[in-house]
Structure 1
């Protein structure tokens, strides 16, 4: 048992084995080996004695020797047993310490065998990846590796199996929640054959910081290279008396008209020899010495190669390098010069303009007013400043003026015009055409209004007189048309009552003569009577046609539909080659007499114009009543269209036809529209309001 325990512990804890410790076998061996020797020695020393005496002496001596040997062996055994216990205790302490370190390590520790599978993992593995230890041990560790990292991981395992240690290998492991963590590995083979020890560290946060740093550096570089301002990085030399270029952005190359390669490593005074007199070098020296950022105001830089206006801002980096950010303001300076010139011109125009001009704040208060406006309204400029434009706007025009200002404030328009009345200081009223423009800053915010006021009182009076004359002329034209219709009606009645009856009587007398002149000797009389009858018939037909043209009886007797049908039948007979389509809305029956007459005359005049000028292949006439729900009030609409040659609507009229049609329509409150162009035909549309019962 002792031997067995010894063997187990010595093998387990690598304690060296010694033959003196194995006292059992040695004792037996000494008893067996020495007994014959002592027996022979006793027989030699004491010859002639009994044999059992020799055996007793040999046994006694063998036992004494065995006891001596055994005592020495036991001493060694107990010494080695004590040594063994010390080894076991120390080994167990070491194992406990290692187990504690294994469990408490913040790094991920693992032991693997021959198969690509974890044999043991420490708690840090579970804490980092979110799996139970059993889950980690149950699956090949390659299952946890990101698919993109598996080829590199397998290659690293191959190198490890070939005896090459793995140092700082990085891959991604999948967590239980599906996310991935970046791990940095170190692995090597254990002294125990078939075992591999590996340490992994979660570097996800470090990778994220590195990535953020790289992105930040990239953003800085992009910003540096894409800034519109020039940026130069300098390193001081000669104890801060001069500076050497270390970096330069693209805007700097453009502004300074020099490439980065031409100046990196060169002194500032070498590349820009005018920098000393320019004053920037003194600013840079001061910033380098005390670290306080400074601005160098806009000044003109000039040397043999370059001339421009530039402003600088200089600051020092923690590394001691200097950065100068500079902006080319040459164009701005030129623009400022132009602006000053423009302002001078504006002041000259503002003060000398023949029309009134004032500048008005967004809330409607006068900022400036020129001399012409002061004379127009009778106020001095100091009396107008700070007052609202409402103070001299006529009360009846105030609402429209405020609406215009509001539209400009809201940005719907930048320029609007209105004709309104102004009240002078003396109480008089003037008419003026006012154009108001909104002036906005670069951000689109309203800065002020510019109002240009042109006195149109004389023109307005002339327009009123013209409108009065025009209205009078229209009244006279309508009256003339009424008189014409009355004259036409009277002539038609006279033709019907007098000439028609007379011709009827003549024809009756001629028929009577014909019936009584059958005798051969009365042939000349019969022929004369026949000729009289034919002439009277032609005169009657001509008179009837003239009566129809002057005042169709069907229009008075049967209404508009019948009158238009008769008119179109007569026109079709005269123009058989022209296709004529007539559409009549039955809802248009029973119209007022004056409306029916206007519509009839419009169609009549349109057909006359088509016959004379259009050379049309087809015409179309549509008469319909518009739905009172879509048009208020209810209206009747007439459209006459042809596909003829058309004409220029802006050309002066060659007759009174169109003018007469327009005046007739307007006399009953209607609207007249003409649509035509050369080669595109002509369309006339008439819309007349009608009363609805």
Structure 2
């Protein structure tokens, strides 16, 4: 009997185990049995078939080391921790990815539940899982779609509202509250939402809202609202109405966008167009738009005045019809280049034929105006009446011809004068000097032969005669120098102006106690040495000769610029009264009687002519009794 009872018990256990396997295999979910320490005891047919496994592949192994989990160590570690927690009586549940084939995975809703005996001890763990891959992918796609929608509305600064008409409950996005100025309210009411609409826009918007709620009509509208700070904003709303079986609205979902900037831009464009139209019509020049075929499509009143046609008449013509026949070929070539994009614009002077048959000179500037696709929209021409200018140019040409003739005559006259001046220089150099030398020799002989027997008065007369002869010779020399200024070519060479001043001082040999000083280091530059030496020698010599003291001082200084140098010859002599500042540069002018100071009155005239002949200028700065400073500029 004991043996029979044992066999019956074993049979019942076997039948129970088989029943459990049958139950597990009948379940569509993944189910198994695991020991508290993680050894897999049972795995139903669904879990094995999903991965094409056999019992021998997994039974008796640690659950975490089986095929489903062994693709990733972190997944295995997560499962080991879950088994350890479940062994203490905790139910574990989480989504996890398991392997069901080569490079094939599914997502399961995984649960690990403990089985306890009558003593509360965990005897087994039941792992189960449901394939939720498709659902999770759909949820992920939905989340991505919602995120894309959110990003799109955020990027577009679009506010969304959802109004449940049955419960009168409205949900808003943060952007909706921000752009409508309602973000200072936690739960905006209907009055809050629509109470800030501009009074002029509210009646039409209210009508659209009522028709949407009562008839299920969707609506779009632009309207204005006031923000709490008093600023006015333009909005555009697009609302979609969901209706019930009877066609009444039950839900309104809409989008709102702040279009204030667009409206301001449109207003700016409108003002710009108005300004353009005003400029076009009121311009002091003719303006026209032409199409691809050259027909006028828009002209202003000034163009009508220039050509004598009415606006209606011009709009029936091609622009080439107004061009003078002699200039049409050139104008057509330019226009073809403009059409081909070879020229961005062109400007040309030409003649238009007026309605009365006369012609008018115009200056035309033409260019292409492009649309947003870089296609030529039209051509703009600006036409200026230049008839008066052309008449002035013709008169100027005639005047120039007259002036050129006068210049030629004057040049011939100057050439004749120069020849006469050359002849005079020759006479002064030869014919006048010879008698002077003879007179001088005769006076010298008288002094040598009879000076002792001549009375004192006669001796004085002879001395005066000899002085006058010397002065006349000096005058002839200065006249000759004056006549040759600017007519004798000299070479350009490096000139050390400091050495030049030193050589001049040595040649002039000032009296003992009289000083001539170069202030600072005078520059070296390329110039014509001879005329510069002549100018400096005359100025320094004048300063010495006309000084009223034997211990006088003369300073020579230079200020250098990029293209010229300025020399200054400064003395501490008697000075020159301002009334004589211009006079001293004229020929034969002296400030002292010639009997007191020997001089021809030519020195400063020669200096001025030399300086001006090379493009410089000379001036004097002086007051009577305070010395004098002569400044002259000399090109490099």
TM-score > 0.5 by shorter chain: yes
Contact 2:322 2:352 in 1 (8 A): yes
Q: Partner of 1:6 in structure 2?
A: none
Q: Partner of 2:172 in structure 1?
A: 247
Report the Cα offset of residue 366 of structure 1. Answer: 1.1
CA distance 1:642–1:186, shift in 2 (3 Å): farther
Report the Cα offset of residue 457 of structure 1. Answer: 0.8
Q: Partner of 1:234 in structure 2?
A: 163
Contact 2:36 2:122 in 1 (8 A): no
Q: Partner of 2:331 in structure 1?
A: 398
Q: Partner of 2:3 in structure 1?
A: 20
Q: Partner of 2:559 in structure 1?
A: 617
Q: Partner of 1:373 in structure 2?
A: 303
Q: Partner of 2:90 in structure 1?
A: 164
Report the Cα offset of residue 322 of structure 1. Answer: 0.6
Superposition pairs for residues 219-618 of structure 1, below 5 Å? Answer: 219-224=148-153, 227=156, 232-237=161-166, 245-247=170-172, 250=175, 254-255=179-180, 261=186, 263-264=188-189, 278-288=203-213, 291=216, 293-295=218-220, 313-317=238-242, 320-325=250-255, 355-361=285-291, 364-393=294-323, 394-395=327-328, 398=331, 402=335, 419-434=349-364, 447-449=377-379, 451-470=381-400, 472-473=402-403, 476-477=406-407, 480=410, 484=414, 487-488=417-418, 491-492=421-422, 494-495=424-425, 497-502=426-431, 505=434, 509=438, 519=448, 521-522=450-451, 531=467, 534-535=470-471, 538-539=474-475, 541-543=477-479, 545-552=481-488, 555=489, 562-565=490-493, 573=501, 579=522, 581-582=524-525, 617-618=559-560
Report the Cα offset of residue 358 of structure 1. Answer: 3.2
Superposition pairs for residues 8-47 of structure 1, below 5 Å? Answer: 19-20=2-3
Structure with more of its chain in helix, by fraction: 1
Contact 2:289 2:298 in 1 (8 A): yes
Runs of 5+ consecutive residues of structure 1 not aligned to the other structure: 1-17, 22-75, 556-561, 585-599, 621-639, 646-654, 663-681, 686-693
Moved more, 205-214 or 111-120: 111-120
Report the Cα offset of residue 461 of structure 1. Answer: 1.1
Q: Does 1:214 align with 2:143?
A: yes
Q: Partner of 2:619 in structure 1?
A: none
Report the Cα offset of residue 248 of structure 1. Answer: 6.1
| Cα separation, 2, equivalents of 1:268 and 1:325 | 14
Contact 2:161 2:176 in 1 (8 A): no
| Cα separation, 1, equivalents of 2:130 and 2:210 | 48
Contact 2:370 2:376 in 1 (8 A): yes
CA distance 1:88–1:257, shift in 2 (3 Å): closer
CA distance 1:520–1:417, shift in 2 (3 Å): same
Contact 1:299 1:311 in 2 (8 A): yes
| Cα separation, 2, equivalents of 1:281 and 1:642 | 87
Q: Give the root-mean-square deviation of aligned CA atoms.
A: 6.7
Runs of 5+ consecutive residues of structure 2 not aligned to the other structure: 245-249, 453-458, 505-516, 540-556, 569-607, 616-632
CA distance 1:211–1:236, shift in 2 (3 Å): same
Moved more, 83-92 or 422-431: 83-92
Contact 2:109 2:130 in 1 (8 A): yes
| Cα separation, 2, equivalents of 1:436 and 1:247 | 55
CA distance 1:463–1:441, shift in 2 (3 Å): same
CA distance 1:19–1:141, shift in 2 (3 Å): same
Contact 1:489 1:550 in 2 (8 A): no
| Cα separation, 1, equivalents of 2:612 and 2:378 | 49
What secondary structure sits across from 1:316 in the alignment? strand
| Cα separation, 2, equivalents of 1:386 and 1:294 | 46
Match of 2:72 among 121, 135, 144: 144
Residues 621-663 of structure 1: CA deviation (Å, up to 9, x unaligned): xxxxxxxxxxxxxxxxxxx445899xxxxxxxxx99999999x
| Cα separation, 1, equivalents of 2:421 and 2:39 | 125
Q: Partner of 2:549 in structure 1?
A: none
RCO (CA 8 Å, sep 6+): is it higher in 1 or 2? 2
Contact 2:94 2:110 in 1 (8 A): yes
CA distance 1:171–1:367, shift in 2 (3 Å): same
Would you say how many aligned residue pairs link Structure 1 and Structure 2? 511
What secondary structure sits across from 2:383 in the alignment? strand
What secondary structure sits across from 2:430 in the alignment? helix
CA distance 1:265–1:531, shift in 2 (3 Å): closer
What secondary structure sits across from 2:85 in the alignment? helix
What secondary structure sits across from 1:220 in the alignment? helix
Contact 2:286 2:306 in 1 (8 A): yes
Report the Cα offset of residue 616 of structure 1. Answer: 5.9
